Structure 1
């Protein structure tokens, strides 16, 4: 049930985004409830660790997990998206934009593509 609450919160915020876009939701806003906890591969574990570290404002730990995930799977758009979120949290907006663009170039699924476009729109 604890994992369901952040998901429901995200769905509610999505409805507030307007114009058919998904609202960008930062891990630090949601706290726990990583969307990557269902992945059973090594990259999924690292993404889950990074998400949780970001929620706890441990950005350096998140960066380490994401760097390892990127080395393991350099073509996974989810890795680049979460790294873009991390860079945004660190105030590195140009790098966040570049990483999100890289994630888009890797052919993400429809849902992730919508999230990336909303993220880029929120970067300005």
Structure 2
């Protein structure tokens, strides 16, 4: 039986990450913005989570990009957007976002490991020419 597509394996991780929005300030480390920006960014991530659950990947990605305008160096938001890009079949973009996240992650080993998993999944998907879940009917 063929192994599941990387995007399917990461689906559970994405949902778990979106549910961990409350940890965003901790994940941001030295790049934390004022609390007002954190609140706005957190609300955008929650909105993106709902959009993702509704299968609106393009809208969720646009929402996460707005969150990055508020906190450009937030490693968690970079990771979330990278996972979405993997789902959308944008493997190069997914890898770049995971690398950017790792450059800002500080001592958060869990997020660093998830970024490495994202990088590996993007490389594997790109090498095998896999079609992302987002490209299939939902």
TM-score, with structure 2 as normaliser: 0.62
Relative to 1, partners in 2 of residues 1:38 and 1:49: Cα closer, same or farther, differing over 3 Å? farther
**Distance of aligned partners of 1:78 and 1:93 in 2 relative to their CA distance in 1, 3 Å threshold:** same
| Contact kept? 2:21, 2:45, Cα under 8 Å | yes
Q: How does 1:9-20 map to 2 (within 5 A)?
A: none
Q: CA deviation at 1:64?
A: 2.1
What is the CA–CA distance in structure 2 between the aligned matches of 1:38 and 1:52, rounded to whole Å?
18
2:81–2:94 contact (8 Å) kept in structure 1: yes
Deviation for aligned residue 1:122: 2.0
- Deviation, 1:84, is 0.5
Which of 88, 91, 94 pairs up with 1:93?
A: 91
The question of 1:34 aligning with 2:33 is answered: no
Q: Cα deviation per residue 1:28-79 (whole Å; 9 max; x = unaligned)?
A: 9859x72215667221111121122112210122022111101000010011
Q: Which has the higher Rg, Structure 1 or Structure 2?
A: 2
Q: Which runs of 5+ in 2 are unaligned?
A: 1-8, 25-37, 125-138
Displacement of 1:25: 3.0
Superposition misfits of 4+ residues, deviation over 6 angstroms: none
Residue 121 in structure 1 maps to residue 106 in structure 2: no
- The 3-state SS of whatever aligns with 1:75 is coil
* Secondary structure class of the residue paired with 1:25: helix
1:98-113 to 2 correspondences below 5 Å: 98-108=96-106, 109-113=108-112
Count of aligned pairs between the two proteins: 100
Decide whether aligned partners of structure 1 residues 66 and 105 sit closer, same or farther in structure 2, where only a CA change above 3 A counts: same
Paired with 2:53 and 2:12, the residues of 1 have a C-alpha distance of 5
Secondary structure in 2 aligned to 1:57? coil
- C-alpha distance 66-48 of structure 1, shift in aligned 2 (>3 A): same
The higher relative CO (CA closer than 8 Å, separation ≥ 6) is in: 2
